[in-house]
Structure 1
Amino acid sequence: MTTRETVGRIGGLEYTARLEELPLRRSDGAAQGTLSAFSYTVDAPDRPILFLTNGGPGVSSIYLHLSGIGPWRARIPLDPAGHGAPPYGIEESRSTLLDVADLVFLDAPGTGFGSVVEDRDPGDFRSVEADADAIAAAIGDWVDRHGRWDARKFFLGESYGTIRAAFLATSAHLADTAPLDGLVLLGQAVNIQETFGRPGNIVGALANLPYKAATAWYHGAGSQEHPRVEDAIRAALDFARGDLALAMLQGDELAEPARTAVAQRLSKMIGLPVESLVASRLWTSQQDFRSDLLPGRVLGVTDSRYAAPAADRRLGELEYDPSDVALTPRYTTALSRLLQEVFAVASDQPYRVTDPDAGRDWEWDEAGVALFPTYGQPSPFRTYPYPARLSRWMKQNPRGRLFIGTGVYDSLTTVGAADHLLRHYDLPRERTESHWYRAGHMMYSDAGVGETLNDDLRAFLVR
């Protein structure tokens, strides 16, 4: 694929849009393939650069690329009750960050227009360390190619991209070639091992409570004494840090009357029946919550405002994610229009939204695991100290700043998980900011939320 370049204008601002190939390589090795990158730059001195990737692992940059951060956004219905049927579309983004920063959307190895040469194994890049090293090399190559050595540089990762961000921050290659001034974590998953709702994981149950309260508030099933969803979230955080934590830690030693009293408070907050909460010792996973909150309905994984009829297992129906059904076709259709109408890419050149093999083959271990017992492969003692990457970077870089954004209706990377990250990993509060948005995992799927988020990011980038 040859470099595609065009000039555009938005709000009186002229910019250059590029689709180009970058080498796919480790920071100390020869190219083993290619990565694709979309960039939007303005011919003006001293502009910061924001590099961006989505998550997965193995997802292209499509959802950020068409979020409205850049000059274009996919058209998303304002009402989550709307469905995913056509007409779809693409529109200019009135809130684009192009007025304050150049933007580079990087497609993860194995996605976009990227390729791996025939005698190389794509699995070489399917690990937390190899993936981050490849993205670090791509950032360095882009900076060299465009002569942007002196620009301030920021990295924005979404979902798994936030784990990638933590590894990039401490990349020796970037420290030497393109050190980062700030990180943006949208839907942070850095501490997801501690905060995901595995059976018996009390920290996860406590961290997920604000998500459940926000979702119950939205659907009118719980937390109805609060006028705003933010108030419901704060009440849930207080309950999770106090009485609920004390009750859950006691397990079956908690007397039945006390457990029932706590279950009654919890039921009023998250909308599930008291008797089921008592029977489960106050614990319910996000997955069960999405199925149980509204009888006969299932809520979206990435955005619990979306709901659909539950699968009929008597017929052998499989569950589906109503938020994914409503949103993904809009992004993929918008990308097709962008490629043909802006970059003049022929329709026979396939763009890979995902690498379907990445998640199955991913290697989650990293060097920090050596500090903990790891008997066997895999080991019950295995740990993944990803947050240590963030704390180390902020200690080594006294100017480094951190931005965390969380969608309150996101069942995957929750408000409580972000709160846990801030409270337990020694991140300097004076250089860290955390924001909640009335959205799901893909916070830009709501145009109004996207404009607010962009305003917050604009302030972060120019500070």
Structure 2
Amino acid sequence: MRPTFTTPLALALLLALPTAGNAKTDKPDADPADPGKTTATTAITQPPDAVSQGSVNVEGHHIAYQAIAGTLVLHGKGEKEHEPTVSMFYVAYFKKGENPARRPITFLYNGGPGSATVWLHMGAFGPKRVVTSDDRHTPAAPYTLTENTYSLLDVSDLVFIDAPGAGFSRLLASGEDKGKREEQLKERKKEIYGVDGDGEAFAQFITEFLTRHGRWNSPKYLFGESYGTTRSAVVANLLTSNYAVDLNGVILLSQILSFDTSIDGPEHNPGVEMPYVLALPTFAATAYYHHKLPQPPAALEPFLHEVETYAQGEYAAALIAGAALDPARKQTVAEQLHRYTGLPVDYLLKANLRVTGGMFEHALQADEDLTTGRLDSRFEGPSLDPLSKEAQYDPQSAAISAAYVAAFNDYVRHALKFDADMPYRLFADIERWDFSHRVPGARGGRSLQQSLNVMSDLAAAMKTNPDLKVFVNGGYYDLATPYFAADYELRHLPIPATLQNNISRAWYPSGHMVYAHEPSLKALHDNVARFILQTDNLKH
């Protein structure tokens, strides 16, 4: 099912996963409002570090490592500097035999907002990887955990961070009685569950982690996925401007910086036509994959270049014309869209040439009563309601979530030896996420944005630190954050033309979770490893 947040455009950033294991179904020992109430809550405020040893073979290279699973407690500022606000759970992997001052370190996190970082950890770059089916539903337990021959440990130490309230991370309260603690927790949610509060928490975590583990002189990288890319733009600017931390690189996977480019919910933002333009290549790729094109091309990528050109030209011009569009021209555009998407001409005309992500997912294979995946449009599943206008769930989420949850719960407690008697939450219990944002340089620190856009944050970080390199990765089959929208955002960053040379891109025949497709995982690893080696400022 699709999560419902306060703004429809937020849907593009959310991993639409089952709510099982979420805060509302947690057992009572997860309540942080009563410190000392249980051993679980005591473990939050008195964080134990579970240390273990392991090894992994990455593309032929044997790597011995130390793993630390623990929590880092953040505190308030000013008069509240001694008041604990949140404990953030992390798992860090350090390659043995390396000089910490010369070893790159990468901080990784998923999106949500408010998601645990189980996906990047167990699917992409940790030393162990859960095995899932490529483009179909993964059978139920037992699941297979295998050595990850594409872990990033060959080039960087890794720190996987759970967002506040997710995973084993918890908001903290220290009031004198239960009523005051509950009020304090409400304030914590207001402070932290938003663009700026979340960004500040991650920036504070990173600087305190650098101190605790003596890594201030290490080459430093951020790796964010989905809403984690939004977070990375904010955190990169905060680290540079407020903490005097220059990053070597920012790596973005399945990027969205401007919510105005989202194909989820653009009908609620009439007059803004770019979501339809930027999603068209992904619609075309998906129709190509499912053999729905009336005139199938010989190869995917040349076909996508053709669609990109049409989208920015004739299609964009037709949408901008609005009601002034000539009926004959509208008919011609609908016929061309049919050739690129496989959707019927009559359907496209009734949609006024504007098809949202949810509409496309429901309509593409409607003749077979199948719903097409959103996070990875290679996936398909039975339609829950064949008469619906939009998709009612995401087949990829349903296909792999249980495997990730089960594998991590077993791995963290047995292999990593983190003995916490509390549930691991896929998502924080967020009733409302504050999408308001203080734009760098805005007068009085106030934002005039009507929807979130952090392009200015990334631009500010790049201008303040002109050596900062940015590497963007995305999947052709990602309908949550289409790859062409990411490319558009990068081409419109408010930076000098010379800094555009600091940005590199890579696209893969996979979806939102690029690494769910093993050949794409290998390519992603090789590309990111090369990026780190080229930007770590070490002489090799």
The CA distance in 2 between the partners of 1:181 and 1:345, in whole Å, is 31
Deviations 1:402-427 (A, max 9, x none): 01111111111001211211221245
2:56 aligned with 1:7: no
- 1:104 is aligned with what amino acid? V
Of 44, 69, 77, which aligns to 1:19?
A: 69
Q: How does 1:59-208 map to 2 (within 5 A)?
A: 59-78=115-134, 80-118=135-173, 119=181, 120-121=184-185, 122-123=188-189, 124-172=191-239, 176=243, 178-197=245-264, 198-199=266-267, 200=270, 201-208=272-279
Aligned to 1:451: 522
Equivalent residue for 2:34?
none
- In 1: Cα distance, 2:255 partner to 2:403 partner: 24
* Cα distance in 1 between the residues matched to 2:392 and 2:452: 30
CA shift at 1:173, angstroms?
A: 7.1
Task: Look up the equivalent residue of 2:237 and give its one-letter code.
Answer: T
SS at match of 1:147: coil
AA aligned opposite 1:53: Y
Q: Which amino acid aligns with 2:112?
A: G
Alignment equivalent of 2:467, drawn from 392, 399, 406: 399
Partner of 1:351: 424
Residues 27 and 394 (structure 1), Cα distance of their counterparts in 2 relative to 1, 3 Å cut: farther
Q: Does structure 2 retain, via aligned residues, the 8 Å contact 1:166–1:387?
A: yes
Name the SS for the 2:439 alignment partner: helix
State the partner residue of 2:176. Answer: none
Maintained 8 Å contact 1:13/1:99: yes
Distance 1:369 1:37 in 2: 29
CA distance in 1, matches of 2:333, 2:409: 52
Distance 1:445 1:409 in 2: 12
Q: Secondary structure at the match of 2:402?
A: helix
Count of residue correspondences: 455
Q: Aligned with 2:365: secondary structure?
A: coil
**Given the superposition, is the C-alpha separation of residues 370 and 42 from structure 1 closer, same or farther in structure 2, using an over 3 Å criterion?**
closer
Q: Aligned partners of 1:82, 1:385: CA distance in 2, in Å?
A: 35
- Matched to 1:47, the amino acid is R
Greater mean alpha carbon deviation, residues 23-32 or residues 58-67: 23-32
- The corresponding residue for 1:280 is 351
Q: How well do the aligned residues superpose, as a CA RMSD in angstroms?
A: 2.5
Deviation (angstroms), 1:83 = 3.9
CA contact 1:213–1:223 (8 Å) conserved in 2 = no
Amino acid at match of 1:41: F
1:5 counterpart letter in structure 2: V
Contact 1:136 1:174 in 2 (8 A): no
Amino-acid identity (%): 29
**Structure 2 CA distance for aligned equivalents of residues 181 and 346 of structure 1:** 35
Contact 1:66 1:74 in 2 (8 A): yes
Indicate conservation of the 8 Å contact 1:217/1:232, yes or no: no
Q: Secondary structure at the match of 1:368?
A: coil
Q: CA separation in 1, counterparts of 2:398 and 2:76?
A: 36
Q: Note if contact 2:89-2:169 (Cα within 8 Å) is conserved in structure 1.
A: yes
Asked if 1:311 corresponds to 2:387, the answer is no
Query: 1:168, CA displacement in angstroms?
Result: 0.6
CA 1:223–1:174 in structure 2 vs 1: closer, same or farther (change >3 Å)? farther
Cα 1:246–1:373, aligned 2, differ >3 Å: closer, same or farther? Answer: farther
Q: TM-score, normalising length from structure 2? A: 0.80
Contact preservation (8 Å) 1:140, 1:174: no
User: What's the CA shift string for 1:168-198, capped at 9, x where partnerless?
Assistant: 1111577535431211111111112234351
Gap regions ≥5 residues in structure 2: 1-42, 174-180, 535-540
Report the AA paired with residue 66 of structure 2: T
Aligned equivalents of 1:129 and 1:356: distance in 2? 18
Q: Do 1:192 and 1:417's aligned partners in 2 also have CA atoms closer than 8 Å?
A: no
| Counterparts in 2 of 1:335 and 1:223: CA distance versus 1, 3 Å | farther
Counterpart in 2 of 1:291?
362
Shift of 1:281: 2.3
Deviations 1:125-151 (A, max 9, x none): 111111111111111111101111110
What SS does the corresponding residue of 2:125 show, helix, strand or coil? coil
Partner of 1:388: 456
- Which residue of 2 is the match for residue 409 of structure 1? 477
Match of 2:415 in 1: 342
Q: What does residue range 209-288 of structure 1 map to in structure 2 within 5 Å? A: 209-222=280-293, 224-288=295-359
Unaligned runs of 5+ in 1: none
Q: Given the two structures, how large is their TM-score scaled by the length of structure 1?
A: 0.92
Q: Tell me which of 14, 18, 34 is aligned to 2:87.
A: 34
Of residues 267-276 and 116-125 in structure 1, the stretch that sits farther from structure 2 once superposed is 116-125
Q: CA deviation at 1:202?
A: 1.1
